[in-house]
C-alpha cells in the first residue's frame, strides 16, 4: 500500500508574513491527518521560516527548484546542501514552468535529480505533455522520453513522480479521472520496467487544476497516489479539503 502524498506548490506567491499566517492556521487543521504525507513548497525566501514553523509537525517543507552544483560562482542559484540546511525534505524538479520559461532540458533535470539525491533530498519529479502533443497523439512518447532521460542512472528511492499535463496546469481544465488513470497506469508500467520490484513503492501523483471539487474522484483512480496542487493550495480552506480527500466513485 502506498501512502498518499499531497504537496502544495505555491510558485511565486506569498511573502514571509503570508507564509507565517498560512502555516500557523493550517497546522491545526491537519494535525490529525496521519494517512497522508503532506508537503508545502513555498518560494525560496520563505523556506527557512516555513521549516522552522513546521518542525515537529506532520507537514514537510519542499523546495520548488534547486541547482545541480554544490557551490560556487552561480549567481542567483541555490544548492541542494543549502536546501537541506533550511530543513527541506523534498524538492520539485522538472516542473513544466521551469522547462517552459527557463529552458530546462531533460539533461538539466537529470543533473538536478542526481545532485539533490546525493544529499538525501526526496524528489518530486514532474513530467507531462502539452495540449499540442496530446492532440498529436504523442503523450506517451513525450512521457517515455522525459522518464528515460530524466531518470537515467537514478536510484528510485525517495522519489515521487508527478504527472502534470501542461494543458491542465493553472487552466482550470483538469484531466478526467479516466485520462489521469490511463497515463498513471502507463507510468507505473514504465517504472516497473525500469526498476522492477523497487518501483512498487514509488508514488505517482497528479497535478493540474486539482481542487476540492475534483480531488475525491481523482483519488479514486487505482494508480493515482496523491496530488501536486498549485492554485488551490494558496487558500487554507481549499488545501485542507484536498488533504482530507474522501475516495468516491
The span from the CA of 193 to the CA of 198, in Å, is: 10
Query: Interface residues with ligand PEP (CB under 6 A)?
Result: 9, 164, 169-170, 207-210, 228-232
Question: Which one of 70, 164, 182, 184 is the catalytic residue?
Answer: 164
Question: Which one of 18, 95, 129, 237 is the catalytic residue?
Answer: 95
Task: Using alpha carbons only, give the angle 233, 93, 106 rounded to the nearest 5 degrees.
Answer: 140
- Using the minimum distance from each CB to ligand PEP, give the nearer residue, 195 or 219: 219
Q: Give 189's Cβ-side CA count (13 Å radius).
A: 9
- Using the minimum distance from each CB to ligand PEP, give the nearer residue, 88 or 169: 169
- Using the minimum distance from each CB to ligand PEP, give the nearer residue, 97 or 195: 97
What number of H helices and E strands is found in the chain? Answer: 10, 8
The span from the CA of 204 to the CA of 227, in Å, is: 8
Smallest distance, ligand PEP to C-beta of residue 168, A: 6
- Closest residue to ligand PEP, Cβ-based? 230
Smallest distance, ligand PEP to C-beta of residue 184, A: 15
Smallest distance, ligand PEP to C-beta of residue 239, A: 10
The span from the CA of 130 to the CA of 139, in Å, is: 8
Smallest distance, ligand PEP to C-beta of residue 218, A: 12
- Using the minimum distance from each CB to ligand PEP, give the nearer residue, 54 or 162: 162
- Using the minimum distance from each CB to ligand PEP, give the nearer residue, 126 or 147: 126
Q: In DSSP terms, which residues pair with 222 in a beta bridge?
A: none
The span from the CA of 90 to the CA of 160, in Å, is: 9
Residue 184 bears catalytic tag? no
Element (H, E) at 200: none
Smallest distance, ligand PEP to C-beta of residue 159, A: 17
Q: Specify the residue for cell string 520548488.
A: 64
Q: Which of 205, 211, 133, 199 is nearest to 170 (CA)?
A: 211
Residue 52 bears catalytic tag? no
Catalytic residues: 95, 164
Amino acid at each position: 500500500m502506498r501512502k498518499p502524498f499531497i504537496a502544495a506548490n505555491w510558485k511565486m506567491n506569498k511573502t514571509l508574513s503570508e507564509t507565517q499566517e498560512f502555516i500557523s492556521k493550517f497546522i491545526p487543521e491537519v494535525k490529525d491527518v496521519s494517512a497522508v504525507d503532506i508537503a508545502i513548497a513555498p518560494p525560496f525566501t520563505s523556506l527557512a521560516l516555513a521549516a522552522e514553523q513546521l518542525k515537529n509537525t506532520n507537514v514537510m517543507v519542499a523546495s520548488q527548484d534547486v541547482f545541480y552544483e554544490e557551490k560556487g560562482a552561480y549567481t542567483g542559484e541555490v544548492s541542494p546542501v543549502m536546501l537541506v540546511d533550511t530543513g527541506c525534505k523534498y524538492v520539485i524538479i522538472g516542473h513544466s514552468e521551469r522547462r517552459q520559461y527557463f529552458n530546462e532540458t531533460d539533461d538539466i533535470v537529470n543533473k538536478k535529480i542526481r545532485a539533490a539525491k546525493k544529499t538525501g533530498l526526496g524528489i518530486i519529479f514532474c513530467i507531462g505533455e502539452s495540449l499540442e502533443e496530446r492532440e498529436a497523439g504523442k503523450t506517451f512518447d513525450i512521457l517515455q522520453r522525459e522518464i528515460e532521460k530524466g531518470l537515467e542512472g537514478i536510484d528510485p528511492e525517495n522519489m515521487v513522480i508527478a504527472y502534470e499535463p501542461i494543458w491542465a496546469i493553472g487552466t482550470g481544465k483538469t484531466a478526467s479521472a479516466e485520462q489521469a488513470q490511463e497515463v498513471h497506469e502507463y507510468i507505473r508500467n514504465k517504472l516497473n520496467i525500469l526498476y522492477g520490484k523497487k518501483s512498487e513503492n514509488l508514488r505517482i501523483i497528479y497535478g493540474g487544476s486539482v481542487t476540492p471539487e475534483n480531488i475525491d474522484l481523482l483519488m479514486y483512480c487505482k494508480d493515482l497516489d496523491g496530488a501536486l496542487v498549485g492554485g488551490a493550495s494558496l487558500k487554507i480552506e481549499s488545501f485542507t479539503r484536498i488533504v482530507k480527500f474522501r475516495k468516491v466513485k
